């Protein structure tokens, strides 16, 4: 699957949660996962909490992961969300 297709699938998912890539200062597209990194915002966590379980790291960051299904495919995209 192309990187753009994976990115579009993630964008579709976060837009349903009323979020956008603009709320994250770093978007990394790796071979096996996409990482969204942004500043802590209680609105962002509230919108993601029903589907993402966050854990507090030793450094005070919130980290969560979710597998997003790809429409028309049995594959999923692993998305890591880091809020600093």
Give the pLDDT confidence of 43-71 residue by residue, as tens digits.
999 999 989 999 999 999 999 999 988 77
CA–CA gap between residue 63 and residue 53 (Å, rounded): 8
pLDDT (0 to 100) of residue 37: 98
What pTM was estimated for this model as a whole? 0.90
CA–CA gap between residue 84 and residue 79 (Å, rounded): 16
pLDDT (0 to 100) of residue 35: 97
CA–CA gap between residue 26 and residue 73 (Å, rounded): 27
Place 3 in a pLDDT band, splitting at 50, 70 and 90: confident
């Amino acid at each position: 699957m192309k990187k753009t297709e994976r990115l579009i699938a993630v964008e579709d998912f976060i837009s349903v949660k009323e979020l956008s890539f603009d709320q994250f200062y770093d978007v990394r597209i790796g071979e096996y996962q996409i990482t969204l990194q942004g500043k802590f915002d209680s609105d962002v966590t509230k919108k993601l909490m029903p589907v993402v379980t966050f854990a507090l790291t030793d450094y005070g960051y919130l980290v969560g992961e979710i597998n997003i299904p790809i429409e028309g495919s049995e594959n999923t995209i692993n998305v890591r969300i880091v809020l600093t």
